[in-house]
């Protein structure tokens, strides 16, 4: 998610302009510039996105009324798979969003597939300027979609483990199977539960219940999301089991910060048989560092637009520092730290952490850094020897040297 010069002028323009705009997703910066000139001449505001994460971020932060999506937006890509995946993610976020897909002449079957997946229309490349502008204007006129701050939060995923998790979620979303999502605080359990609901084709009502203060089950079926499901009272557990035994049970998505095996010892075995049918474990951020720069870039853009403030820089050094940081509440903590950076106009030390956990972490990190530095000096910066003395592998030592800027 690089911030190029044309991106910057675009951001400045949109900070002060909440008029509905067109979002064009294509990795080719020349085509982006040409398209922007074309649309600007016709009085249509255009935003650019060069990859999926950037497209989703823009969608969450700007009043996007229409998307023009190149189905193969990465160089060399031909299958349209990445475009179709992004189309799905965008429609999860904004089910009524008009999306015009762009494809080469050879890609008619992909365009048809995109229409089946919810695209509004398609355009062949190379496009005819007049026809494209007409189609865009007509679609914009028809579209009554207005940007709402109520849009569900965007799901940003870069690590392999989370990509797999989302693929699993998408596969089971359309079934009626109960699902248990476990993972520590703030890892995104609720976000995934909402995605399941959005993809489920379930027209019933959505009930979000906190087991800690839930006294009765909803009357109507639909989708029931239980937070802190380990706290369900014994009588509610029995009622829930009965409801799940019925012929047309509600769709239950149980969330818990306990590991499934610990939850098993808290909940009644009959209920666990239902809830444990499909379990998904979301790892803490520390086990998926690849997600941290992508999430930080997303939140930076999101909060800078929301607070109408400039976006602090996120370079490689800052990304590495964020990856080395401890995030007690995972994505929730990272999100708060990024919002603080936007508001304060620069990165601050995190004030978070119970008691002096932050201080202790800082001390531990300082100690580790000095131990490593001392070992390196003793061995005249010979990494192999220093690693041996520290009981680390060479790659592990290199990682720490990068983390501490040694």
Ligand X SMILES: Nc1ncnc2c1ncn2[C@@H]1O[C@H](COP(=O)(O)OP(=O)(O)OP(=O)(O)O)[C@@H](O)[C@H]1O
Residues at the interface with ligand X (CB under 6 A): 153-157, 183, 185-191, 227, 255, 257, 295, 331-332, 335
Q: Could you tell me the smallest distance in angstroms from the CB atom of residue 255 to ligand X?
A: 6
Q: Could you tell me the smallest distance in angstroms from the CB atom of residue 325 to ligand X?
A: 16
Q: 209: helix, coil or strand?
A: strand
Q: Could you tell me the smallest distance in angstroms from the CB atom of residue 127 to ligand X?
A: 33
Q: Tell me whether residue 110 or residue 280 sits nearer to ligand X (CB atom).
A: 280
Cβ pair 22, 65 in contact under 8 A:
yes
Q: Tell me whether residue 113 or residue 230 sits nearer to ligand X (CB atom).
A: 230
Among candidate residues 21, 18, 105, the one with its CA nearest the CA of residue 66: 21
Q: Tell me whether residue 154 or residue 320 sits nearer to ligand X (CB atom).
A: 154
Q: Could you tell me the smallest distance in angstroms from the CB atom of residue 96 to ligand X?
A: 21
Cβ contacts of 73 within 8 Å, gap of 6 or more: 25, 26, 27, 50, 51, 82, 83, 86
Q: Could you tell me the smallest distance in angstroms from the CB atom of residue 329 to ligand X?
A: 6
Q: How many CA atoms lie within 13 A of 67 on its CB side?
A: 34
Cβ contacts of 283 within 8 Å, gap of 6 or more: 161, 183, 187
- For the beta carbon of residue 173, count every other beta carbon within 10 angstroms: 21
Q: Tell me whether residue 255 or residue 386 sits nearer to ligand X (CB atom).
A: 255
Measured distance between the N- and C-terminal CA atoms of the chain, rounded to whole angstroms: 27
Q: Could you tell me the smallest distance in angstroms from the CB atom of residue 302 to ligand X?
A: 9
Q: Tell me whether residue 103 or residue 229 sits nearer to ligand X (CB atom).
A: 229
Q: Tell me whether residue 132 or residue 158 sits nearer to ligand X (CB atom).
A: 158
**Minimal CB distance residue for ligand X:** 188
Cβ contacts of 29 within 8 Å, gap of 6 or more: 4, 6, 50
């Amino acid at each position: 998610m690089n911030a190029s010069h044309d991106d910057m002028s675009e951001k400045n323009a949109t900070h002060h302009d909440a008029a509905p705009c067109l979002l064009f997703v294509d990795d080719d910066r020349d085509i982006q510039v040409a398209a922007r000139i074309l649309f600007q001449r016709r009085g249509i505001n255009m935003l650019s996105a060069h990859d999926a994460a950037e497209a989703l971020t823009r969608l969450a932060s700007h009043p996007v009324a229409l998307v023009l999506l190149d189905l193969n937006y990465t160089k060399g890509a031909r299958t349209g798979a990445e475009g179709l995946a992004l189309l799905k993610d965008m429609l999860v976020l904004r089910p009524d969003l008009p999306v015009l897909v762009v494809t080469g002449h050879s890609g008619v079957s992909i365009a048809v597939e995109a229409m089946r997946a919810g695209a509004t229309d398609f355009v062949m490349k190379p496009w005819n300027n007049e026809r494209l502008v007409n189609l865009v204007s007509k679609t914009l006129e028809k579209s009554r979609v207005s940007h709402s701050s109520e849009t569900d939060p965007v799901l940003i995923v870069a690590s392999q483990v989370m990509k797999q998790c989302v693929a699993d979620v998408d596969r089971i979303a359309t079934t009626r199977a109960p699902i248990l999502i476990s993972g520590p605080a703030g890892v995104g359990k609720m976000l995934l539960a909402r995605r399941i609901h959005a993809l489920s084709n379930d027209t019933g009502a959505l009930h979000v219940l906190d087991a800690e203060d839930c006294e009765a089950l909803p009357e109507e079926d639909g989708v029931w999301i239980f937070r802190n499901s380990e706290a369900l009272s014994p009588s509610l557990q029995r009622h829930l089991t009965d409801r799940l035994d019925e012929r047309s049970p509600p769709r239950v998505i149980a969330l818990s910060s306990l590991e499934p095996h610990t939850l098993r010892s808290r909940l009644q075995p009959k209920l666990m048989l239902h809830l444990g049918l499909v379990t998904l474990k979301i790892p803490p951020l520390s086990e998926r560092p690849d997600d941290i720069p992508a999430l930080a870039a997303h939140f930076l853009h999101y909060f800078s637009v929301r607070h109408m403030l400039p976006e602090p820089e996120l370079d490689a050094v800052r990304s590495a520092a964020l990856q080395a940081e401890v995030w007690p509440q995972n994505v929730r903590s990272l999100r708060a730290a990024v919002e603080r950076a936007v508001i304060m106009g620069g990165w601050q030390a995190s004030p978070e952490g119970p008691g002096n956990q932050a201080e202790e972490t800082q001390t531990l990190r300082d100690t580790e850094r000095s131990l490593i530095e001392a070992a390196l000096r003793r061995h005249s910066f010979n990494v192999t020897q220093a690693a041996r003395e520290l009981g680390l592998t060479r790659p592990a030592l290199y990682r720490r040297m990068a983390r501490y800027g040694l």
